Structure 1
Amino acid sequence: MRVLGLETSCDETGVAIYDTDRGLLAHALYSQIAVHAEYGGVVPELASRDHIRKTLPLIQQVLDEADCAATDIDGIAYTAGPGLVGALMVGATLARSLALGWGIPSLGVHHMEGHLLAPMLEARAPDFPFIALLVSGGHTQLVRVDDIGEYRVLGESVDDAAGEAFDKVAKMLNLPYPGGPHVARLAEAGTPGRFDFPRPMVNRPGLDFSFSGLKTHTLTTVRECSVDGVLPEQDRCDIARAFEEAVVATLVIKCRRALEQEQLSTLVMAGGVSANRNLRARLDADLGKRGMQVFYPAPEFCTDNGAMIAYAGARRLAVGQVDAFETAVRPRWPMHELPPLTGERAA
């Protein structure tokens, strides 16, 4: 089965073609970072407009790269939620219109299920069951995954997601949007151990996260170190390092706790923050010495992309799950509402 996947949940337009026999045939991504950078964050109306401009040309691009015609496509998967409602509507409307015109089924895919399954695109893929750490700009969750559609959320952020905290700290340090990669690069020049920032919620039971207090602690440190409103460069580096180390340590502790609680030995980490090299190194070292293993998507599939939507959609379309006529996008969509990989359903 050959599936066209469309990702338009936020500020990146992703398109891909996945073949259930041959794997990923082609993918393309357009990032709106330059569009939103001057505003310091995503402007929903601008995001929707850019998806309108870019999605059709990207579809043609991946068709050409995969040496496919429209008649070679057996189904279309698109991100139905969660995400920005206007951006979601662009992808959903286009996907369902093309499916109707081409006489093929369409299916709305859960954005975070796409991230969770992104490591399945790699040659070395995890086996079920496993624990998934979904860590991005909008989500920080630990999920027990027994199979596709069989998810149990073990813990999640009660306030800011880790990615949001990175972006807000980047603003404090006068770094560009999106903040995560810039904070990580600045942290490389930081002095180890100069600041010791708190590891939030690690000394209490449970698997939930909270990064708002860490964000406030960072802001307080920035103000204390500033001279006449200017933060010295080395202080910027040291604060970035202390903040990143606190986030990484917190995530590692919670992942280890989740694996031990569920008596599992495999962790999957996905989402934009999963590209953080320090986080990957710490997880590999900490879990590896306990006989546990970690799986990641390729760096190009850590952020939002069409390949993960094409793959997730292909798995569900292949068992007959298709859109109902009245299907709508869902800006909020709890993962536990997803059905298992059997039977028909509406997104």
Structure 2
Amino acid sequence: MWFSSTAMLARARALGRPFRVLALESSADDTCAAIVDASRRVWSNVVVSQNKIHRLTGGIQPMVALLAHQRKMPSAVRRALTDAKLEMADIDGVAFTRGPGLPGCLSVCLNAAKTLAAAHNKPLVGVHHMQAHALTPNLTRDTPLPFPYLSLLVSGGHTMIVLVQSHVDFRVLCNTVDRSIGSTIDRVVTLLDIPWAANGPGPGLEKFCATSAAEDSDASKYDPPIPMPGKLAFSYAGLHSWVERTVAAAGGLEHINKLAVARAFQTAAFKQLQVKLQLVLRTHGHAVRHVVVSGGVASNAELRHRLKTSIRGPIEFVFPEPALCTGMLLDFVLSTPSISPPIDNAAMIAWASMHRFLAEDHDDYDIDPVPTWSLDDLRNPPPPKVQ
């Protein structure tokens, strides 16, 4: 079952319908609102992208993102309710991204959610962003994904392999010691002056590397490092430094084969994911049958191909549709109630909160954000409030 059948049936009986959650997300650079119910119906799903703003500065600027969230959150909430043809009286609970994320950006969805919940006397739940990533596959699958399974989380803020044992029991098996793969891709795209695609710098790199070119664009002539061999840890700062050194040694961008360097970088970045996942499967492969790959970087077709062809055995990879990995980063409000929700979106926050709402496990209205928050801590009491 998706949740405890007893809890789901009891709440549905009391309401006369499945429990509905309005969720808000603003942890980084997209302002999001969605309404999802316990039967997995996505009533509305709104994304307001800041892609056009941050493209001008080559990446997310925290204060710029914060101000954009403040401008757009009220209209995102209103659009979510309008598209669902619902009002706050029809909502049973309010959820939001509590962390991790940019502190100022988190404060926008937190304050909006607390205000809505308090004003309308609704229960409130704060959600761990990476927990939501790990649990989202069951929102889009026809049958529940059985615990335990592995989750490879690859995004602008995180690169980790997590053993998912329940809705709240996560064990981080492999984490980055410095920079995430998504953040590194963003920096390298800027360094190599690669055009962004409509969905951002990562898709821009993928499109650029797929460009047809002559033999002198063969990435095999370069040999980027694979850091920390044999260790269960990611490191991408060194790969970024390798690109910097390669450009500097050649005397500037105009003296290198940019396509070959970009291809070598992308291959090395993805090979590291492959190698570390193989290490994890040697010790945990007997206990799991599924590997969920989520986060913005998971939309890359080359990464999907590499993982599926290099890792054999009784392992099934679960990939969201490419358009669902990045939250469909568009430069206007997008509502998609008729299709599966984007992964990095408020819909995933709503779904991750559902088991707590059904168990009547709520947060106080004075809950604080947690910008730095390990998945391992979900097994422990929540972080203390700031006095």
Question: Of residues 254, 263, 269 in structure 2, which corresponds to 1:241?
Answer: 263
Q: Which moved more, 1:85-94 or 1:58-67?
A: 58-67
Q: Distance in 2 between matches of 1:223 and 1:144?
A: 40
* Contact 2:23–2:35 (8 Å) recurs in 1: yes
Q: Distance in 1 between matches of 2:356 and 2:255?
A: 53
Corresponding residue for residue 167 of structure 1: 186
2:61 equivalent to 1:37: no
Matches within 5 A, 1:1-347: 1-124=19-142, 126-176=145-195, 178-189=200-211, 190-201=217-228, 203-204=229-230, 206-226=231-251, 229-231=252-254, 235-262=257-284, 263=286, 264-287=288-311, 289-303=312-326, 304-339=344-379
Q: Deviations along 1:10-30, whole A, 9 cap, x unmatched? A: 111111111102422210101
Change (3 A) 1:147 1:236: same
- Tell me the amino acid that sits aligned with residue 132 of structure 2: G
Q: Distance in 2 between matches of 1:53 and 1:244?
A: 36
**Identity, % of aligned positions:** 35
* Contact 1:301–1:307 (8 Å) recurs in 2: no
| Superposed displacement of residue 192, structure 1 | 4.7
Change (3 A) 1:291 1:22: closer
For structure 1, the 5+ residue unaligned runs are: none
Secondary structure, counterpart of 1:147 in structure 2: coil
Secondary structure, counterpart of 2:222 in structure 1: coil
* Number of equivalenced pairs: 339
* Contact 2:114–2:365 (8 Å) recurs in 1: no
Q: Distance in 2 between matches of 1:102 and 1:339?
A: 30
Q: Distance in 2 between matches of 1:344 and 1:224?
A: 49
| Superposed displacement of residue 31, structure 1 | 0.9
| Superposed displacement of residue 110, structure 1 | 0.6
- Tell me the amino acid that sits aligned with residue 182 of structure 2: G
Secondary structure, counterpart of 2:221 in structure 1: coil
Q: Distance in 1 between matches of 2:190 and 2:382?
A: 46
* Contact 1:322–1:346 (8 Å) recurs in 2: no
* Contact 2:170–2:379 (8 Å) recurs in 1: no
Q: Distance in 1 between matches of 2:293 and 2:44?
A: 23
| Superposed displacement of residue 258, structure 1 | 1.1
* Contact 2:29–2:49 (8 Å) recurs in 1: yes
Change (3 A) 1:215 1:4: same
Q: Deviations along 1:46-80, whole A, 9 cap, x unmatched? A: 21111111112111212122222211110011001
* Contact 1:259–1:267 (8 Å) recurs in 2: no
Q: Deviations along 1:127-161, whole A, 9 cap, x unmatched? A: 21011111111111111111111011111110111
- Tell me the amino acid that sits aligned with residue 247 of structure 1: A
Change (3 A) 1:279 1:72: same
Q: Deviations along 1:271-330, whole A, 9 cap, x unmatched? A: 11111111111112223x322111123334323311111111122211122112431011
Q: Distance in 2 between matches of 1:192 and 1:220?
A: 16
CA RMSD of aligned residues (A): 2.2
| Superposed displacement of residue 166, structure 1 | 0.5
TM-score (norm 2): 0.82
Corresponding residue for residue 9 of structure 2: none
Q: Distance in 1 between matches of 2:195 and 2:187?
A: 10
Secondary structure, counterpart of 1:309 in structure 2: helix
| Superposed displacement of residue 91, structure 1 | 0.7
TM-score (norm 1): 0.91
